[in-house]
Amino acid sequence: MDLKNKGEFGFIDLIKEHFKAPEGMLGIGDDCAVMPCGEGELIYSTDMLMEGVHFLRDAASPEDIGWKSLAVNLSDIAAMGGVPQATFLSIALPKDAQGEWAERFIEGYAGLSHMFNVPLLGGDTTSSLRDVAINVGVLGRVPSGGGLRRSRAVAGQGIYVTGNLGDSAGGLKAILNGWENTPEVLSLIRAHHRPLPRISEGRKLAGSGMVGAMMDISDGIASDLRHILKASGVGAEVYLDKIPVSECLKTVCSRHGLQAEVLAVSGGEDYELLFTAPQGIEDRLDFPVYQIGKITSQPGLRWLMDAQEVDMDITGYRHF
Amino acid sequence: MDLKNKGEFGFIDLIKEHFKAPEGMLGIGDDCAVMPCGEGELIYSTDMLMEGVHFLRDAASPEDIGWKSLAVNLSDIAAMGGVPQATFLSIALPKDAQGEWAERFIEGYAGLSHMFNVPLLGGDTTSSLRDVAINVGVLGRVPSGGGLRRSRAVAGQGIYVTGNLGDSAGGLKAILNGWENTPEVLSLIRAHHRPLPRISEGRKLAGSGMVGAMMDISDGIASDLRHILKASGVGAEVYLDKIPVSECLKTVCSRHGLQAEVLAVSGGEDYELLFTAPQGIEDRLDFPVYQIGKITSQPGLRWLMDAQEVDMDITGYRHF
Q: Which residues on chain A are in Cβ contact (under 8 Å) with B130?
A: 52, 130-131
Predicted confidence band at A7 (pLDDT cuts at 50, 70, 90)?
very low
How many beta-carbon pairs under 8 angstroms link A with B?
A: 225
Residue of B nearest to A84 (CA): B32
Mean pLDDT of A290-308: 95
Q: Which of A38, A76, A130 sits opposite B130 (nearest CB)?
A: A130
Mean pLDDT of A63-70: 97
Q: What is the pLDDT of residue A299?
A: 94
pLDDT(A19) > 60: yes
CA distance B144 to chain A (A): 8
Q: What is the pLDDT of residue B2?
A: 41
Q: Which of A37, A46, A79 sits opposite B42 (nearest CB)?
A: A37
Q: What is the pLDDT of residue B6?
A: 43
Q: Do B38 and A37 touch (CB under 8 A)?
A: yes
Q: What is the pLDDT of residue A18?
A: 78
Q: Do B54 and A150 touch (CB under 8 A)?
A: no
The stretches in chain B having pLDDT less than 50 are 1-8
CA distance B266 to chain A (A): 15
CA distance B61 to chain A (A): 20
Cα B268 from Cα B226, distance rounded (Å): 13
pLDDT(A221) > 70: yes
ipTM, two decimals, is 0.89
Q: Is A55:A65 a contact under the CB 8 Å cutoff? A: yes
Q: What is the pLDDT of residue B316?
A: 60
Q: Do A43 and B32 touch (CB under 8 A)?
A: yes
CA distance A144 to chain B (A): 8
Q: What is the pLDDT of residue A40?
A: 81
Q: Do A34 and B147 touch (CB under 8 A)?
A: yes
Q: What is the pLDDT of residue A315?
A: 58
Mean pLDDT of chain A: 90
Residue of B nearest to A89 (CA): B46
CA distance A118 to chain B (A): 16
Q: Which of A44, A47, A52 sits opposite B33 (nearest CB)?
A: A44
Predicted confidence band at A316 (pLDDT cuts at 50, 70, 90)?
low
CA end-to-end span of chain B: 61
Mean pLDDT of A241-262: 96
Cα B303 from Cα B294, distance rounded (Å): 11
Q: Which residues on chain B are in Cβ contact (under 8 Å) with A91?
A: 48
Q: Do B37 and A34 touch (CB under 8 A)?
A: no
* b (16+ CB within 10 A) / e for B178-190: ebeeeebbebbbe
Q: What is the pLDDT of residue A146?
A: 75
Amino acid identity for residue B249 in this structure:
L
Which comes out higher in pLDDT, residue A38 or A240? A240
SS3 category, A72: helix
Cα B131 from Cα A192, distance rounded (Å): 27
Which comes out higher in pLDDT, residue B13 or A310? A310
Instruction: Outline where chain A has alpha helix (H).
Output: 11-18, 62-79, 100-115, 167-177, 183-193, 199-208, 221-232, 247-256, 260-266
Name the β-bridge partners of A309.
Answer: A304
Mean pLDDT of A21-29: 77
Q: Which of B46, B227, B231 sits opposite A124 (nearest CB)?
A: B46
Q: Which of A8, A23, A25, A46 to mutate to probe the B interface, most B CBs <10 Å? A: A46
pTM equals 0.90
Q: Which of A41, A86, A227 sits opposite B35 (nearest CB)?
A: A41
CA distance A20 to chain B (A): 17
Q: Do B31 and A76 touch (CB under 8 A)?
A: yes
Predicted confidence band at A248 (pLDDT cuts at 50, 70, 90)?
very high
Amino acid identity for residue A166 in this structure:
G
Cα A254 from Cα B49, distance rounded (Å): 46
Which pairs count as long-range contacts for B96-103, CB under 8 Å and 24+ apart, including other chains? B97/B57, B97/B132, B98/B7, B98/B9, B98/B11, B98/B127, B99/B9, B100/B62, B101/B57, B101/B62, B102/B9, B102/B11, B102/B14, B102/B62, B103/B11, B103/B14, B103/B62
Q: Do A48 and B92 touch (CB under 8 A)?
A: yes
Q: Which of B26, B47, B129 sits opposite A53 (nearest CB)?
A: B129
pLDDT(A2) > 50: no
Give residues with Cβ within 8 angstroms of A186, minimum separation 6: none
